[in-house]
C-alpha cells in the first residue's frame, strides 16, 4: 500500500483541505480521489471537480507517518483559518523521527500562512507558559548550536530598525532586576568580545548611548540633591 499527504485547493477562492490517503496505486495515479472532508465533498457534489486542484505534498512509508505530517501541517491555527476547509486538526501527537521531520520541512517549504492564520496561531499561543521540563529541553537543544554567516546576517537584518515598546522595555528591566551573572557566563561574554572590531558607526552609537545614560544619572542625582534644600527653604 502507498501512503501520502495531499492538499485540495479550490481555485476560485483559494480555500484548501489537507488530508492523508492510503491506496494500492501510485499517488499520482490516484486522480479520482478528491478527499474525505465534509466541506470538500459538499463542493464536489455541488460544483464538480473542475475548479479543484489536487497536490501530492509528500509520499511516506506508513499511515502513522502520514498522520504525523498531517498533524504538523493542520494545527489549531490552520483549522481556525477561514481559508482552511479542515474541520479538525491532524491526528497525531506522538514524537517525530528525523526522516519525518525532514519531510514536514519539505512539505512546508514555500508555504505562506494567511494573515488570519497568523492571527489565530498567535492567539492560540498567548498566555501559554512552557513547563520547566520544556524550558530545559529548549535550552539543551540550543546548546552548542552554531549559526552560519548567512543565518547570522538574516537575524541581524530582521532586528535592524526594530524598536521595543515602553511596555516591552519595562518587562525586560523587571525580568533582569537583581539577576547576577555567574563567573562562567562572565568569562564567556568576555571571551566572545575579545578581538572583536567595532565599526565607527557602532562605536558612535555606543558612545552616544553612554553619554545619554550618564546625563540621565546626573540629572537624577541633581534632582535628589535639590529636594532637601527646597524643603528647608
C-alpha cell at 81: 483559518
- Give pLDDT, residue 233: 46
Domain span holding position 107: 1-124
- Give pLDDT, residue 7: 92
**Mean confidence (pLDDT) of the chain:** 80
- The verdict on residue 159 lying in a domain is no
Share of the chain above pLDDT 90, in %: 13
User: For the chain, what is the domain count?
Assistant: 1
Backbone angles phi, psi at 7, to 5 degrees: -135, 125
- The verdict on residue 109 lying in a domain is yes
DSSP-based three-state secondary structure for 204: helix
- Give pLDDT, residue 176: 81
Q: pTM surpassing 0.75?
A: no
- The verdict on residue 98 lying in a domain is yes
- The verdict on residue 192 lying in a domain is no
CATH of the domain at 19: 3.40.1440.10
- The verdict on residue 81 lying in a domain is yes
Residue keyed to cell 508555504: 111
Q: What is the pLDDT of residues 108-160, one digit of tens each?
A: 676 666 676 667 667 666 666 777 777 777 777 777 777 788 888 888 887 87
Instruction: Evaluate if residue 200 carries a pLDDT over 70.
Output: yes
Instruction: Evaluate if residue 201 carries a pLDDT over 70.
Output: yes
For residues 101 and 144, what is the distance between their CA atoms, to the nearest angstrom? 21
For residues 189 and 186, what is the distance between their CA atoms, to the nearest angstrom? 5
- The verdict on residue 67 lying in a domain is yes
- Give pLDDT, residue 226: 78
- The verdict on residue 171 lying in a domain is no
4 pLDDT band (50/70/90 cuts)? very high
Under 8 Å between Cβ of 80 and 120: yes
Strands 52-60 and 16-23: unpaired
Identify the burial level of 5 via C-beta atoms within 10 angstroms of its C-beta, where 0-12 means exposed, 13-18 middle and 19 or more buried: buried
- The verdict on residue 51 lying in a domain is yes
Lowest model confidence (mean pLDDT) among 73-87, 91-105, 203-217: 91-105
Laid out side by side, the sheet with 2-10 consists of 16-23, 2-10, 52-60
* Burial annotation 47-58 (CB, 10 A radius, 16+ → b, else e): eeeeebebeebb
Amino acid at each position: 500500500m502507498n501512503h501520502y499527504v495531499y492538499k485540495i485547493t479550490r481555485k476560485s477562492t483559494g480555500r484548501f483541505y489537507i488530508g492523508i490517503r492510503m491506496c494500492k496505486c501510485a499517488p499520482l495515479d490516484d486522480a479520482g480521489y478528491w478527499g474525505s472532508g465534509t466541506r470538500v465533498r459538499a463542493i464536489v457534489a455541488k460544483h464538480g471537480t473542475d475548479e479543484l486542484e489536487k497536490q501530492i505534498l509528500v509520499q511516506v512509508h506508513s499511515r502513522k507517518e502520514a498522520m504525523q505530517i498531517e498533524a504538523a501541517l493542520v494545527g489549531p491555527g490552520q483549522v481556525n483559518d477561514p481559508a482552511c476547509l479542515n474541520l479538525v486538526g491532524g491526528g497525531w501527537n506522538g514524537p517525530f523521527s528525523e526522516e519525518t521531520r525532514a519531510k514536514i520541512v519539505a512539505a512546508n517549504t514555500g508555504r505562506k500562512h494567511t494573515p488570519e492564520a497568523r492571527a489565530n496561531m498567535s492567539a492560540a499561543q498567548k498566555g501559554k507558559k512552557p513547563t520547566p521540563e520544556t524550558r530545559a529541553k529548549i535550552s539543551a537543544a540550543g546548546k552548542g548550536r552554531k549559526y552560519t554567516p548567512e543565518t547570522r546576517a538574516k537575524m541581524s537584518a530582521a532586528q535592524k530598525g526594530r524598536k521595543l515598546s515602553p511596555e516591552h522595555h519595562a518587562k525586560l528591566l523587571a525580568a533582569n532586576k537583581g539577576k547576577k551573572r555567574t563567573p562562567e557566563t562572565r568569562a564567556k561574554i568576555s571571551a566572545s568580545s575579545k578581538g572583536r572590531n567595532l565599526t565607527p558607526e557602532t562605536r558612535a552609537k555606543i558612545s552616544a548611548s553612554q553619554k545619554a545614560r550618564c546625563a540621565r544619572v546626573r540629572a537624577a542625582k541633581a534632582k535628589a540633591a535639590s529636594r532637601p534644600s527646597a524643603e528647608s527653604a
